[in-house]
Structure 1
């Protein structure tokens, strides 16, 4: 058992487990009954599974779902590919700017295969997939590569890879990918840098809780810290390419949730995602940035449930 701090409520024992998938060891935990329809929550760039906060997971479980969250490779307690060459981001970005596709340790398609392998290991034939940011990209890939395995798709604060879309705000990108204090040698500076990033990404429509952000960052740091792993994931995102043509083949019920204040993937990125999937529903949320504030947990959980219930071959979560 591990002890996780649950911001806003009492601490809770949660059993973290491991499976072998696609050559990786993936850490996961789950909420709800194993007999209920499965929802797979996929984390974003450099984010750990506990970014899907316990209260949000519990809301989904209370709606009648088996809720599974996991650490992508190179994050949290899953396999870290430390044997891979250290990313040289200067050379990588120069190659991209020169029109080349640099070699990377893995691709987003590999991360999608990791997720399918997790479902295989848990004997889950079909799942509702919900991804945030990079996790939304992984969920999109799963939906068009493994259509028979995906009951519904929810893509949150993500994008299609369309090169014509507006880029991230330079100040947000600098805070996320630029130089940062080291967590071991300068823990206080590291913590404040991460809080500043969280504040910048949060949007303007909901109060920012700096204490909650600090607790979550410390919880993540107690599980792992791997700057090179973040850069390997970043490289996989950077070479992923345009997914619009393949997204047009998705037939699973699809929900796109996006923040109108998102500084990393501006609003048109969400609009483009919804326009690329036939019949997709777009929920553009005013005041939401590149994060899910606790004030929106209930509304987003209900929207995911409504989308899941549209799946024709998926059993209802509740009678």
Structure 2
């Protein structure tokens, strides 16, 4: 559905009881709401939460967006902002800047961007900067799958025919090339976020893949160390993508983390 806030248009989907505690699910760069894990969505709805998914900044059917405008437009006072990859950067900033709106923070596959942390390998970095051979849907999907092969890990393979069709459906739904490049630039241009993390006092769960080739495990450990009282959970064999096996493992610690927070009481 389309909602409007501050002159901006958001493409949003909700699942679950709208009276239940809200979870705001924010994905990484270039990822539409349809890229969100159905396994995590189902687990959260079955656990009694209302899940709000949205097309990320410059992506899909949304305009340039302010993420807090989404719960504002839906009349939601406080939420659990689940951030995956670049979405973790957004969720960290929300938790630091608007603590009265945040019930808890699960941060998934994200670094603090602190100086001295090791980044991805040259091969992965080069792969992220490559462009599709053309702007045809099939070439865009081929390029996306090449990236997934770089950042994923064989312990949790994608189901290849399903993955290709899912990506192709997303391109047909909407494709905006700048919506991939601009968020990546925004991630690289966020060098001071590590100084904000000690201001986060809500219950925090940091989840990271032990085999992540894009954002190494040490980045997740360092992020958790900067947030007071944060709990760290490493998932063995997990890379930086979200195939079904990984999605199910992510949901396992997230649901009890949410359940441990009193409903409707921001930190």
The TM-score normalised by the length of structure 2 is 0.93
Question: Per-residue CA shift, 1:216-254, capped at 9, x if unaligned?
Answer: 211210111111221221221121123222111111111
Question: Secondary structure, in 3 states, of the residue corresponding to 1:216?
Answer: helix
CA distance in 2, matches of 1:23, 1:145: 22
Runs (4 or more) in structure 1 with deviation over 4 Å come to: none
Counterpart Cα distance in 1 of 2:106 and 2:156: 22
Give 3-state SS (helix, strand or coil) of 2:23's partner: strand
Give the aligned length: 265
Paired residue for 2:245, among 295, 300, 303?
Answer: 295
Check whether the contact 2:82–2:88 (CA below 8 A) recurs between aligned residues.
Answer: yes
**Aligned position for 1:217:** 167
SS in 2 for 1:154: strand
RMSD: 1.7
Does residue 207 (structure 1) correspond to residue 157 (structure 2)? The answer is: yes
CA distance in 2, matches of 1:289, 1:171: 15
C-alpha deviation, 1:134, in angstroms: 0.6
CA shift for structure 1 position 170: 1.6
Aligned to 2:183: 233
Q: Indicate the residue corresponding to 2:68 in structure 1.
A: 116
1:271 pairs with one of 213, 221, 239: 221
**What is the rounded CA distance, in whole Å, between the counterparts of 1:198 and 1:180 in structure 2?**
14
List aligned pairs for 1:40-79, cutoff 5 A. 40-79=24-63
Deviation at 1:293, TM superposition (A): 2.4
Q: CA deviation at 1:22?
A: 4.2
- Output the CA distance in 2 between the equivalents of 1:310 and 1:22: 34
Structure 1 counterpart of 2:117, from 165, 170, 183: 165
1:47-93 deviations in Å (ceiling 9; x for gaps): 1111113333122101100011101221011116xxxxxxxxxxxxx
State the secondary structure of the residue aligned to 1:73: coil
- Other-structure match for 1:11: none
- 1:311 alignment partner in structure 2: 261
1:145-164 residue pairs with structure 2 within 5 A? 145-164=97-116
Determine the structure 2 residue equivalent to 1:30.
14
| Aligned match for 2:92, one of 119, 127, 140 | 140
Residue pair 2:43, 2:255 contacting (<8 A) in 1 also: no
Structure 1, unaligned runs of 5 or more: 1-16, 81-110
Q: What is aligned with 2:80?
A: 128
Partners of 2:37 and 2:242 within 8 A in 1: no
Q: TM-score, normalised by structure 1?
A: 0.79
